[in-house]
Amino acid sequence: MFSFANLSIPVIQAPMAGGITTPALVSEVSNTGGLGSFGFAYSSPETIDHDLKLAQSLTQGPINANFFLFPKVELPDSKTIERAIEPLHELASDIDFIVPKPPFYPDLEMQLEPIWQLRPAVLSFHFGIPPEWVVQRARALNIAIGITATSLEEAQKIAQSGANFIVAQGIEAGGHRGIFESDAVDEMLSTFDLLHQLLRHCTIPAVAAGGIMDGRDIRKAMDLGASAVQMGSAFLCCPESGASSEYKALLLAENPRPSIFTKGFSGRWARGVENTFTRHMEGKLTLAFPIQNTLTGTLRQAAARSHNAEHQSLWAGAAFHKARTLKVCELMKALQIELES
C-alpha cells in the first residue's frame, strides 16, 4: 500500500488535466522519489490506459491517477445559451460555437476500468467524494485514495469516507478550486491556515497544496505536520510538462501578470494567468460547469493551434513566477537540497 514514508522527497506533482501531465513528467517525478500524478479528468479510457501503461513502463515508482467528480447538470433555455455565447463571439466572431450535447462529461465508471486493471498506487479526486463502491474497490486492490478539501467541513467528510489522505487546497493554488459545491460560500483559506485547521481536527494525513514552490515552502509545510506537499505550478515550465511554449513564456515573463480567478473558461472558479479572455469575461454570464468548458473548447483549441496565449486557459497558482525551467530530475534535486539546508 502507498505510504508517504516511502517517498524519498515528500512531493506530489499535482495532477493537471488538459495534457500537461505527460507520461514523461509523471514517470520522472516518480523516478526521482516523489509521487507523479496524471490529470485524467477529461481523458478517454483509451488515453488513460495508454498513458498509464507508458508511465508504468518508465518507472517502478508510485503513480497517482486523478479524476473530477462532475456534478449533474442540464442545459438552460436557449435565451440563456445565446447570452453565454455572445461574449465569446465578441472575442472571436469567426468561430461557430456549438451548443454542447449530453453527456456533458466522461463516464467515471468507464474511466476507472483501466485503473482497476493497471492499479496505480494512488487514485485521487477533485470536486467531492467518490461513490462508496469506488472507495471499496480501491481498498480491495490496495490503491490509496486522496481527495481535495478547501475547508475543514469538507476535510471532515473526506476523513469519514474511508479515504487515505486529504489534499488541503489553499486559495493560492492554481487551477480549479476543488470546493465540493460550486455555489457554496468559499472560505478562501490560505494553504497554511487550512493545513493548520486540518492537522488539529482530522486524523488522516494532510497534504498542503497552493503556492508551494521551493524547498523552504516544503519545509514549512512539513514542520507544521503535513505528510507531503502537492505542487502544480512549480512543474509547469519543466521540459517534460505538456504546457505550450506560449503558456510557459507568460509564466516566465520578466514582468509577470497577476494570476486571477475566472469562471469564464469552464463555469467553475479557477486560478490562472490574466489574459484578454479573462478580462473580457469579467462579470459575463457563463453556463454551468462543465458545459461552459465544452462551449469554450473551440475557442481554446483554435488559440492553441495559432499559439495565441490570450484565448487559452493558463492555469497557475499565486506564486507561479517562482517556476523554474529545470528538467524534472534537476528540479527534484534542487527541492531536496533546499529542503535539507
Ligand X SMILES: Cc1cc2nc3c(=O)[nH]c(=O)nc-3n(C[C@H](O)[C@H](O)[C@H](O)COP(=O)(O)O)c2cc1C
Q: Give min distance, CB of 178 to ligand X, in A.
A: 6
Q: What residue spans of 202-327 are helical by DSSP H?
A: 215-224, 245-251, 276-281, 291-305
Q: Give min distance, CB of 234 to ligand X, in A.
A: 6
Binding residue for ligand X (CB under 6 A) from 61, 62, 128, 174?
Answer: 174
DSSP summary character for residue 63: E
Q: Is the dihedral of CA 325, 120, 52, 289 positive or negative?
A: negative
- Piece of 24-32, 71-79, 156-164, 205-213 that binds ligand X (CB under 6 A): 205-213
Q: Give min distance, CB of 205 to ligand X, in A.
A: 16
Binding mask 123-152 for ligand X (x = CB under 6 A): ---x---------------------x----
Q: Give min distance, CB of 317 to ligand X, in A.
A: 2
Q: Is the dihedral of CA 142, 146, 198, 25 positive or negative?
A: positive
CA separation for the pair 169, 160 (Å, rounded): 18
Grid cell listed for 328: 524534472
Binding residue for ligand X (CB under 6 A) from 9, 11, 20, 226?
Answer: 20
Amino acid symbol at 276: T
- Piece of 53-61, 93-101, 169-177, 219-227 that binds ligand X (CB under 6 A): 169-177
Binding mask 242-281 for ligand X (x = CB under 6 A): ----------------------------------------
- Determine which helix (DSSP H) or strand (DSSP E) holds 109, and give its type and residue range: helix 108-118
CB atoms near residue 119 (< 10 Å)? 16
Contact 180, 128 (CB under 8 A): yes
Our finding on whether 41 is near ligand X (CB under 6 A) is yes
Q: Give min distance, CB of 113 to ligand X, in A.
A: 19
The cell 485524467 sits on which residue?
A: 40
- Among 268, 61, 279, 292, CA closest to 148: 268
| 230-240 CB burial, b ≥16 within 10 A, e <16 | bbbbbbbbbeb
CB atoms near residue 80 (< 10 Å)? 12
Q: Which parts of 206-245 interact with ligand X (CB under 6 A)?
A: 209-212, 230-234
Our finding on whether 14 is near ligand X (CB under 6 A) is yes
Contact 144, 122 (CB under 8 A): yes
CA separation for the pair 136, 86 (Å, rounded): 45
Our finding on whether 26 is near ligand X (CB under 6 A) is no
Q: Give min distance, CB of 146 to ligand X, in A.
A: 9
Q: Give min distance, CB of 93 to ligand X, in A.
A: 29
CB nearer ligand X, residue 10 or residue 211 = 211
Q: Give min distance, CB of 173 to ligand X, in A.
A: 3
Binding mask 310-329 for ligand X (x = CB under 6 A): -----xxx-x----------
Q: Which residues bind ligand X (CB under 6 A)?
A: 14-17, 20, 39, 41, 66, 126, 148, 169, 172-175, 209-212, 230-234, 315-317, 319
